[in-house]
Amino acid sequence: MPIEIRFATTADAEAIQRIYAPFVRETVISFEDLPPSVDEIVGRIASTLKTHPWLVAVVGGKVCGYAYASAHRERAAYRYSADTTVYIAPEAQRRGIGHALYAELLPQLKQRNMHMAFAGIALPNPGSVSLHESMGFTPVGIYREVGFKFGRWHDVGWWQRIL
């Protein structure tokens, strides 16, 4: 089935919440402790779309993944850099959906005059590392023991890509 990539709307919040919640509850891929509600996702989508792209991947009429960008840091000098995020429903992984999302997200950032894209990846996560490197991201370094979840410390690796 073809993958349709489009801008997210607040009507996608329930599907996005369903994809994201298990990553929060069951993994260290997200450092949130509690899954956000659908209403919180609605607010996040609306807020993000004011300044950065938020995309969804639709296969067979169902949202099965999403990607968005956000400000890298708040200081003015960072205004041309963005952090990127991608989540794919487990049953839809390894089907090219992450690649398709990034193939649209990265040009969207360039059109918005962004110069650099960053991705923080909780380690280990070989699937995410592989996706990002296949999209031209290169490793920058590792923040050791920067996140505490499930009773232990976790590292976050950082990757970057010039747009």
pLDDT digit string, tens, across residues 78-113: 999 999 999 999 999 999 999 999 999 999 999 999
The Cα–Cα gap between 5 and 11 comes to 15
The Cα–Cα gap between 40 and 29 comes to 19
Residue 1: what pLDDT? 80
At 51, list the tokens.
Answer: 């300044």
Q: Supply the CATH classification number for the domain 3-119.
A: 3.40.630.30
Give the residue ranges of the chain where pLDDT is below 50: none
Residue 37: what pLDDT? 98
Residue 25: what pLDDT? 98
Residue 116: what pLDDT? 98
Residue 96: what pLDDT? 96
Residue 92: what pLDDT? 93
Q: Residue 11, exposed/middle/buried by CB under 10 A (0-12, 13-18, 19+)?
A: exposed
Residue 33: what pLDDT? 96
Cα–Cα nearest to 140, from 148, 132, 151, 152: 132
Q: Tell me phi and psi for residue 33, to 5 degrees.
A: -90, -35
Kindly list the distances between the CA atom of residue 64 and the CA atoms of 46, 69, 73, 94, in Å, as whole numbers in the listed order.
20, 18, 29, 12
